[in-house]
């Protein structure tokens, strides 16, 4: 424990009631009776709520999104001073900065990516994706695909790959495609598929001591001799 100069003067001074001891000496004498520090206090207000078909949970006059897979079963809302944490079966299915307004909807667009696979049209018109700024190379690919006829469908395919391959891998694949001067979903998904392939096995060199000096010759006539002997 680090003690500042002002604190050191305080604890080394005389105790206001027990003048024959310093504040620090009295503290040391009381230490065995104190409750040991068990870490940061996890203070929150918990309530249970249902999840709507639009992946939203209502709390304190506002709605917060949860992962699409949480629809159909209740969640536990943990309301902290500055954030909202949503849990289902002990697993975090949503986390947001707490809103103190009224009638507001707080979205995490990633919660709705599985829905895009079924309804790709929501990518352009859905409220969760309005003004969504994607990270790095993903955003550059999105802008290039915006002018393509089936750009929405391709972008949905790329975003859906995040669910299986992870954001870091998909963004790296997008960056590699852009370096090659292309940006289609087929190319990005092909790069991801190559990354998932197991590496080629290492070639083991045979030591000279284990090499055959007289390699066996294939002689099928041996089987005829065995048949005649029987």
Q: What percent of the chain has pLDDT over 70?
A: 93
Return d(Cα 79, Cα 46) in angstroms, integer: 6
Return d(Cα 185, Cα 153) in angstroms, integer: 9
Q: How confident is the model at residue 140 (pLDDT cuts 50, 70, 90)?
A: very high
Q: How confident is the model at residue 229 (pLDDT cuts 50, 70, 90)?
A: low
pLDDT tens figures, 16-33 = 887 788 888 888 888 888
pLDDT at 3: 44
pLDDT tens figures, 119-138 = 888 888 889 998 899 989 99
What are the residue boundaries of the structural domains of the chain, listed by start? 45-106, 112-196
**Residue 168: how many CB atoms within 10 A of its CB?**
10
Q: What is the model's pTM?
A: 0.67
Strand 83-88 to 45-49 pairing: unpaired
Q: Answer yes or no: is pLDDT of 168 > 50.
A: yes
């Amino acid at each position: 424990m680090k003690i500042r100069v002002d604190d050191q003067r305080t604890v080394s001074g005389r105790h206001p009631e027990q003048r024959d001891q310093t504040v620090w000496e009295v503290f040391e004498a009381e230490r065995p009776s104190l409750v040991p520090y068990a870490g940061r206090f996890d203070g929150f207000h918990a309530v249970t709520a249902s999840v709507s078909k639009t992946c939203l949970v209502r709390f304190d006059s506002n709605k917060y999104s949860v992962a699409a897979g949480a629809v159909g079963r209740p969640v536990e809302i943990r309301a902290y001073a500055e954030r909202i944490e949503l849990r289902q079966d002990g697993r975090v299915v949503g986390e947001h900065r707490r809103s103190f307004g009224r009638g507001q909807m707080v979205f995490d667009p990633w919660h709705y990516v599985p829905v895009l696979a079924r309804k790709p049209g929501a990518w352009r018109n859905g409220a969760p994706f309005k003004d969504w700024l994607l990270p790095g190379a993903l955003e550059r690919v999105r802008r290039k695909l915006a002018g393509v006829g089936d750009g929405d469908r391709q972008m949905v395919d790329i975003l859906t790959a995040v669910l299986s391959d992870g954001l870091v891998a998909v963004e790296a694949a997008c960056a590699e495609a852009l370096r090659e001067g292309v940006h289609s979903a087929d190319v990005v998904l092909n790069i991801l598929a190559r990354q998932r392939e197991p590496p080629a096995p290492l070639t083991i060199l045979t030591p000279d001591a284990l090499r055959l000096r007289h390699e066996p010759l294939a002689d099928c006539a041996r089987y005829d001799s065995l048949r005649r002997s029987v």
